[in-house]
């Protein structure tokens, strides 16, 4: 069933979980801005959605840059209408054990995940509060609970949970909800890069991951997109400040 034609921005929407989410929200009937650092790839994802009968545009922007974020949100409002759905999905990894982690590894990860979600949410909430309706979903991770080699990433993903709860408290009275989705192991270029870094064939890496997942399979981008579809939907207005693990088993 098609939902109202609201406007959604999906950051990091060029590929992986972001692209699956952009496709899913477009199938839900939303007009989708696929925002990514990789502008050409964002445009390709948008073109594929349009070819399938959806409404989408590609937008190039770095979510950690305040001026680019402001310009991108303005552009979306101008071309599609006020963005009242925001999915903070853009992400990078710079894994290293603490003693080898550089300041640049730390700052890059904090910049994209935390500063990026802050800048995007601050820009988009102007439209949401004006409309009296909004949905913000930020991508946390099971790594928020700690993961070897990811001091930067786990700190950022845990930080996004606190960020989300605070947005829920501040924005609730404007009809805006904020939730976090925390995936476990999802098959994307990001996990492929991790397999490469540790020198394990990706198929073996997935098999090993599946053995420790109760549902015995790796997650797919579509698993995460389906959860985001619910949290950005019309019927989830009383669910706010939550962290939903999409990990094939219990985490808290
Ligand atoms: N894959 C997993 O197993 C997994 C698990 C938990 C959480 N996550 C999170 O889900 C999100 C998506 O992960 P994925 O696996 O699809 O990653 P991915 O690497 O496949 O895609 C990330 C996208 O973000 C974009 N991006 C990176 N920096 C950006 C910036 N500064 N501005 C705009 N766009 C930028 C990239 O260009 C890319 O298109 C990330 O936040 C990630 O941390 C992934």
The mean pLDDT of 236-249, rounded to a whole number, is 98
Q: How far apart are CA 153 and CA 95, in angstroms?
A: 8
Q: How far apart are CA 159 and CA 138, in angstroms?
A: 11
For ligand 1, the distance from its centroid to the CA atom of residue 92, given in whole angstroms, is 6
Q: How far apart are CA 102 and CA 129, in angstroms?
A: 39
The mean pLDDT of 127-151, rounded to a whole number, is 98
Residue 1's pLDDT band, with cuts at 50, 70 and 90, is: low
**For residue 75, which of 4, 9, 3 has the smallest C-alpha distance?**
9
Q: What is the pLDDT of residues 202-223, one digit of tens each?
A: 999 999 999 999 999 999 999 9
The predicted pLDDT at position 73 comes to 98
* 176 has a pLDDT exceeding 80: yes
User: Is 141's C-beta closer than 6 angstroms to any atom of ligand 1?
Assistant: yes
Best residue for ligand 1 mutational test, from 90, 123, 142, 197 (most atoms within 8 Å of Cβ): 90
The mean predicted confidence, pLDDT, of the chain is 97
Contact 126, 176 (CB under 8 A): no
142 Cα nearest atom in ligand 1: 6
Contact 113, 66 (CB under 8 A): no
Q: How far apart are CA 120 and CA 11, in angstroms?
A: 9
User: Is 186's C-beta closer than 6 angstroms to any atom of ligand 1?
Assistant: yes
**For residue 141, which of 166, 114, 108, 102 has the smallest C-alpha distance?**
114
Q: What is the pLDDT of residues 94-112, one digit of tens each?
A: 999 999 999 999 999 999 9
* 88 has a pLDDT exceeding 60: yes
Residue 4's pLDDT band, with cuts at 50, 70 and 90, is: confident
Rg (CA), the chain: 17
Beta bridge partners of 177: 135
* 135 has a pLDDT exceeding 80: yes
For the chain, which domains are there? 7-184+220-246 (3.40.50.720), 187-218 (no CATH)
The predicted pLDDT at position 184 comes to 98
Catalytic residue among 133, 153, 163, 245: 153
**pLDDT over 90, % of the chain:** 97
User: Is 223's C-beta closer than 6 angstroms to any atom of ligand 1?
Assistant: no
Instruction: Output the DSSP codes for 1-64.
Output: -PPP--EEEEETTTSHHHHHHHHHHHHTT-EEEEEESSHHHHHHHHHHHHHTT-EEEEEE--TT
Query: Quick one: which H or E segment has residue 30?
Result: none
Residue 252's pLDDT band, with cuts at 50, 70 and 90, is: confident
DSSP type of residue 188: S
The predicted pLDDT at position 178 comes to 99
The mean pLDDT of 89-93, rounded to a whole number, is 98
The predicted pLDDT at position 5 comes to 85
Best residue for ligand 1 mutational test, from 9, 17, 110, 111 (most atoms within 8 Å of Cβ): 17
Residue 2's pLDDT band, with cuts at 50, 70 and 90, is: low
Count of Cβ atoms closer than 10 Å to residue 167 Cβ: 25
∠ Cα 32 89 43 (to 5°):
45
Query: Quick one: which H or E segment has residue 226?
Result: helix 221-231
Contact 58, 45 (CB under 8 A): yes
**For residue 243, which of 194, 170, 184, 190 has the smallest C-alpha distance?**
184
User: Is 12's C-beta closer than 6 angstroms to any atom of ligand 1?
Assistant: yes
Annotation marks residue 153 as catalytic: yes
User: Is 21's C-beta closer than 6 angstroms to any atom of ligand 1?
Assistant: no
Q: Within the chain, what is the greatest distance between any pair of CA atoms?
A: 52
* 62 has a pLDDT exceeding 70: yes
Residue 140's pLDDT band, with cuts at 50, 70 and 90, is: very high
User: Is 110's C-beta closer than 6 angstroms to any atom of ligand 1?
Assistant: no
**For residue 161, which of 251, 252, 243, 244 has the smallest C-alpha distance?**
243
């Amino acid at each position: 069933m098609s939902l109202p034609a609201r406007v959604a921005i999906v950051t990091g929407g060029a590929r992986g979980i972001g692209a699956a989410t952009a496709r899913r929200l477009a199938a839900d009937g939303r007009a989708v801005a696929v925002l990514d650092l990789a502008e050409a790839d964002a445009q390709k994802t948008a073109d594929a959605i349009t070819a399938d009968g959806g409404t989408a545009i590609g937008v190039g922007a770095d979510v950690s840059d305040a001026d680019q974020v402001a310009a991108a949100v303005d552009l979306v409002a101008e071309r599609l209408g006020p963005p009242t759905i925001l999915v903070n999905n853009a992400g990078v990894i710079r894994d290293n054990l603490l003693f080898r982690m550089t300041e640049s590894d730390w700052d890059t990860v904090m910049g994209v995940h935390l500063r990026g979600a802050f800048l995007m949410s601050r820009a988009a909430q102007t439209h949401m509060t004006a409309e009296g309706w909004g949905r913000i979903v930020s991508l946390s991770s099971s790594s928020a609970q700690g993961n070897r080699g990811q001091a930067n990433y786990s700190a950022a993903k845990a930080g996004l949970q606190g960020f989300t709860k605070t947005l829920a408290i501040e924005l609730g009275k404007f009809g805006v909800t904020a939730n976090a989705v925390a995936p476990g192991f999802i098959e994307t270029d990001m996990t492929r890069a991790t397999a490469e870094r540790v020198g394990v064939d990706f198929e073996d890496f997935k098999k090993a991951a599946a053995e420790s997942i109760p549902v015995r399979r790796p997650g797919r981008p579509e698993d995460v997109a389906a959860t985001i579809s619910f949290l950005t939907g019309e019927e989830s207005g009383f669910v706010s400040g939550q962290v939903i693990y999409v990990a094939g088993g219990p985490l808290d």
